[in-house]
Amino acid sequence: MSFEFIRQVISPEELLKAYPLPAKDVILKNERDKEIKDIITGKSDKFLVIIGPCSADHEDAVCDYISRLARVQEKVKDKIIIIPRLYTNKPRTTGEGYKGIVHQPDPEKEPDLQEGLIAMRKMHLRAIAESGLTVADEMLYPENWPYVKDVLSYVAVGARSVENQQHRLTISGMDVPAGMKNPTSGDFSVMLNSVVAAQASHTFLYRKWEVKTSGNPLAHTILRGAVNKHGQSIPNYHYEDLIRLYNMYEERNLKYPATIVDANHANSNKNYAEQPRIVKEVLHSRRISPDIAKLVKGVMIESYIESGNQKVSGHVYGKSITDPCLGWEESEKLIYTIADGL
């Protein structure tokens, strides 16, 4: 019943020095960050499509997938900014199962956090270099932010983390858009309170330091559906839900009211094939309501090369080993459908 201190892992400073972001990609990221920020702040009427695997478990397949997205991005750049999901930490409800590449750089071997941090960093750098797209990751562990702070253009906080104070305070020190998901209960007030906290300045302990943050005005909400006391999924992407969220935003003194609709998870009842239908409904709501059009800045889609999922031992290239995902052909078609519908 105690901690066993196995070894001290590489520091963020050491990792960034060993694997730096090349100067040309620094310029690229700054340009992408501005484009994405302008969407959140309302300066741009482009639409965000945050899309990719449930978890980034295989570097070659993930970078192949993101390079495919880059080719599509070029064709829809006048209307859409694509942010690939490159999720290197995977939350587990019971604590069991694959926890992401940071824990297990090889999903079939024992955890190795030292090698996992290196694998995470190398995957992010390769994805940017090969695709020209900067990516999103989930901030499951707030203390990991310094390892990737220079490569991420978007951060998400999950439904089980959004009520945690350390997550909220850490987000307040970031300078990129951060999406705060509604908790599994579906409570909009909890979600909006997390945005209030993330947009404010705070002083707190972080990685052995007393730090002060300036607040993150780009913090916003993500609707991912809810689960009731009977374990049943309750969607929150419908017109009435979006209007309710718009009105609740109006009651609060928050900068840049914005939301992203997650088309999977409880919104789809974890039926990945429902994602295109859900996205189309969200686009319809935006077309018939100026308020919703102003509020909904994008959608989030779980997608990979092959549809569905597999066990860790499956070895099907580009197929999720966690939650099932939409396949590439359906995903590509959906992105073009979104562009046509804007």
Q: For residue range 118-147, what is the model confidence (pLDDT) as tens digits?
A: 999 999 999 999 999 999 999 999 999 999
Both tokens assigned to 161: 């983390």
| 298, β-bridge pairs | 48, 260
203: in domain: yes
332: in domain: yes
300: in domain: yes
* Segment 302-336, tens digit of pLDDT: 999 999 999 998 999 999 999 999 999 999 999 99
- CATH number of the domain enclosing 41: 3.20.20.70
Residue 53: which pLDDT band, with cuts at 50, 70 and 90?
A: very high
- Let me know how many helices (H) and strands (E) the chain has, helices first: 11, 12
Q: Is the dihedral of CA 249, 37, 265, 336 positive or negative?
A: positive
Share the mean pLDDT of the chain. Answer: 96
194: in domain: yes
- Residues 219-235: what's their mean pLDDT? 96
Residue 341: its H or E element? helix 328-341
**Which structural domain range is residue 198 located in?**
26-308+319-341
5: in domain: no
Return the half-sphere exposure (C-beta side, CA atoms, 13 A cut-off) of residue 6: 6
Residue 76's pLDDT is 98
Residue 124's pLDDT is 97
3-state secondary structure of 230: coil
Q: Is the pLDDT of residue 295 over 90?
A: yes
Residue 4's pLDDT is 87
- Residues 262-286: what's their mean pLDDT? 97
Residue 93's pLDDT is 74
C-alpha span between 5 and 276 (Å, rounded):
46
Residue 1's pLDDT is 61
| 220, β-bridge pairs | 179
124: in domain: yes
* Segment 175-214, tens digit of pLDDT: 999 999 999 999 999 999 999 999 999 999 999 999 999 9
Q: Are 262 and 233 in contact (CB under 8 A)?
A: no
Q: Is the pLDDT of residue 106 over 80?
A: yes
Residue with tokens 């499956």: 314
2: in domain: no
Q: Is the pLDDT of residue 248 over 90?
A: yes
Domain count, the chain: 1
Contacts of 182 (CB under 8 A, 6+ apart): 159, 162, 188, 190, 191, 221, 222, 223, 224, 225, 226, 236
224: in domain: yes
- Provide the 8-state DSSP code for 262: E
Q: Is the pLDDT of residue 283 over 80?
A: yes
